[in-house]
Amino acid sequence: MLIVQKYGGTSVGDLDRIANVAKRVARTRDEGHDVIVVVSAMSGETNKLIEYAHFFSKNPDREAMDLLLSSGERVTSALLSIALNEMGYPAVAMTGRQAGIVTDRTHTAARIEKIDPEPMGSAVREGKVVVVAGFQGIGPDGRVTTLGRGGSDLTAVAIAGAMKADLCEIYTDVDGVYTTDPRIEPKAKKMERISYDEMLELASLGAKVLQNRSVEMAKKMGVNLVTRSSFNDNPGTLITKEENIMEQPLVSGIALDKNQARVSLKGVEDRPGIASEIFNALADENVNVDMIVQTIGADGKTEIDFTVPQTEIERARAALERFRDSIGEIDYKENIAKVSIVGVGMKSHSGVAAKAFTTMAEENINIEMISTSEIKISMIIDEKYAELAVRALHEAYELDK
């Protein structure tokens, strides 16, 4: 098999840990596999480099930033290849450019456009382990680019796709993806398998493990992703096509998002075009609207409620300023939480939503807003009940079993 292994910042956090990674890579070679390794910078390194730049400028030149930040990953890729060679495992370190990774020209937030399989492919054919510096590529002008924070995951997935790897393993300090946040519910269980779509909906659970953009890319390219820990031999969680999951549980996991705020527009003029005007204004200010609920109007007025990320409240305020004349009253509530129940099994079963509502009723938790999709039920509740709700739902769907 050809396996792409990506090691995150904590996994290569110091020299002993890099030595440990080298042993893991060696073991994979011993098992008879070809390996392309993608590494992050040592943990804290990218932040340190950003601080260095900010010593000189609040708004440093982005091209220079890319040159600076890309250096963190180069250090680890070179060190790991030196360690592997010393152990008798031929290895070659490559920068993004040397690995043939071509991006667009958006410095500090570039998108990968294509990958030339030749440089990595020929090294692998020569029996070498390829160690690629993650998070970087080369723009059309020949300048170094970086992919945005956490971008090494993307490098790994894109390489796995381009090289037609059998597996892309993402190593972190977490064992995999859990049915819910174990800090909230200690009975949370590690999932063996989960589909791309479920993983995307459970983003908050995977946030520490995987960047969402890389799950989207894995889905698009059909890359089998495994997230696992580099500190033990536990098997991790496989993120794959829905068809590859034999027994689909009704509910796979419970996610919690406390960073949402609710905006209530009361006494809104009830006429064609008003929603379009309001939400276009929000879009113009780059506000990401999530849930929207409109109540049936009466006396020519209606009420529209929606949620936005807490960090975008000020932008929402600015956008809504223009509607002074067509909206009676605007209310903002920040202490809300969104609890979501996710599972592909709910497509083919009834009663999943009813059970969620009953569980909230039994705990005396008021549901302020509801939205559903094929594989998700989300509820907005008061933030102070968030943890209670998560634990109650986790138990109601027997996720601890």
| Site string (22-61) toward ligand ASP, x via CB under 6 A | ------------------xx----x---------------
Query: By CB under 5 A, what part of segment 4-43 binds Mg ion?
Result: 8
Find the binder of ligand ASP among 3, 5, 9, 282 (CB under 6 A): 9
Among ligand ASP, Mg ion, none, what does residue 135 contact (CB within 5–8 Å per kind)? ligand ASP
Strands 253-257, 336-342: pairing kind: antiparallel
Site for ligand ASP contains 72 (CB under 6 A): yes
Listed residue (100, 80, 101, 81) closest to 92, CA to CA: 81
Is residue 41 within 8 Å of residue 9, measured between CB atoms?
yes
In whole angstroms, the minimum distance from the beta carbon of 134 to ligand ASP comes to 6
φ and ψ at 47, to 5 degrees? -60, -40
Q: Which residues, 147 to 186, sit near ligand ASP by CB under 6 A?
A: 149-153
In the complex with ligand ASP, which residue's Cβ is closer, 153 or 175?
A: 153
265's enclosing H/E stretch is strand 260-269
257: which strand partners? Answer: 338
Residue indicated by tokens 């992050």: 40
Q: What angle do CA 21, 26, 31 make, to 5 degrees?
A: 130
Least distance (Å) from ligand ASP to the CB of residue 7?
10
Q: Which does 119 bind (CB under 5 to 8 A by kind): ligand ASP, Mg ion, none?
A: none
Contact set for ligand ASP, span 267-286 (CB under 6 A): none
Does 151 help bind Mg ion (rule: CB under 5 A)? no
Residue 51 neighbours by CB distance under 10 Å = 9
* Residue 134 near Mg ion by CB under 5 A: no
Which of the listed partners (ligand ASP, Mg ion, none) does 46 bind, with a CB threshold of 5 to 8 Å by partner kind? Answer: ligand ASP
Partners of residue 341 on adjacent β-strands? 254, 377
Contacts for 32 with CB less than 8 Å, ≥ 6 apart: none
Q: How far apart are CA 335 and CA 290, in angstroms?
A: 16
Return residues touching Mg ion (CB under 5 A): 8, 150
Return residues touching ligand ASP (CB under 6 A): 9, 40-41, 46, 72, 134-135, 149-153
